Structure 1
């Protein structure tokens, strides 16, 4: 019974996210940025992408794979970290953190589970670990895979990835 009570909100959230992710806009599927904006669970990520000047890049043709941390993931960072990264003088650090969440190409979950690492746009690779049905990117759990966008795919994660 407890498993059902825990699983139900995840299933409902998944369907809510998928309905936004697959929504059409004038006959065109939404790009990665539009999907994130409309979902409402990625306000911090969207603000960071805007502050870093990466909106146009993530709205471009791609394709991209984005490991997208939720607002709750950003909230787990030490107090003041997000505010520090959003300052104009720290734009290079912010760009490094954000591009560490992006892999070139559309890498679907079926492909991710066959990999042990993936090179990011930032230059460093992320580690991929599959244990049963759980997929981890570094120390982040993939909580919702394969959210399709017109220019790639989003895998929702529960922890912000930080490059070394």
Structure 2
């Protein structure tokens, strides 16, 4: 279908390597240096993420952080840690899960709510767009996004425009994938994660 073909062009091809962690894969990609630097140098953040493996990370690109550099510079360590944790969900959520469900409400490690939706031919996370899907490795999956998720950007799935699909993520077993296309109907995790319905600690937001 046309919208799936469009998403295929947006999603970069990433070949999952089981022996590589999602952190290593993000570092090798080259677009997530600011995120990785913040995660590794903000006390407690990396430990919190690894303690909740497998996880789904909605990772802002370097450009996304650059767009709000003044805001980030004004955050103290505690506030920055909260913002970073707001991009991470326990359990694995693949692009296919979101496309199948239409819209899901998730609770991040910080306690903040996220709306991950498939609407108007693209996958969104609050006010950001997923630009690179299913970077999959040991520890879960990363989806690249074009905006940093900030407080106050959550809206419930019920607020989506009429005609959008809504619902929970269906029960699916763990899956392997060699692709990262948003349109993939066979995508999934090559690491130890599972789909959202059975991933560790995966939850629907209230």
Q: Normalised by the size of structure 2, how large is the TM-score?
A: 0.62
The CA RMSD measured in Å over matched residues stands at 2.1
Distance in 2 (alpha carbons) for counterparts of 1:141 and 1:38 = 22
Q: Contact conserved, 1:60 with 1:151, CA < 8 A, in 2? A: no
Counterparts of 1:1-164 in structure 2 under 5 Å? Answer: 14-15=12-13, 18-19=14-15, 22-23=16-17, 28-53=18-43, 54-59=45-50, 62-77=53-68, 79-85=69-75, 90-113=76-99, 114=101, 115-164=103-152
Residue 59 of structure 1 and its aligned partner are, at CA, apart by 4.3
Residue 122 of structure 1 and its aligned partner are, at CA, apart by 0.8
| Larger strand proportion of the pair | 1
| Larger helix proportion of the pair | 1
Could you list the structure 1 runs, at least 4 aligned residues long, displaced by more than 4 angstroms after superposition.
Answer: none
> How many residue pairs are counted as aligned between the two chains?
142
Q: Normalised by the size of structure 1, how large is the TM-score?
A: 0.76
Structure 1: 5+ residue stretches without partners:
1-6
Structure 2: 5+ residue stretches without partners:
1-5, 153-206
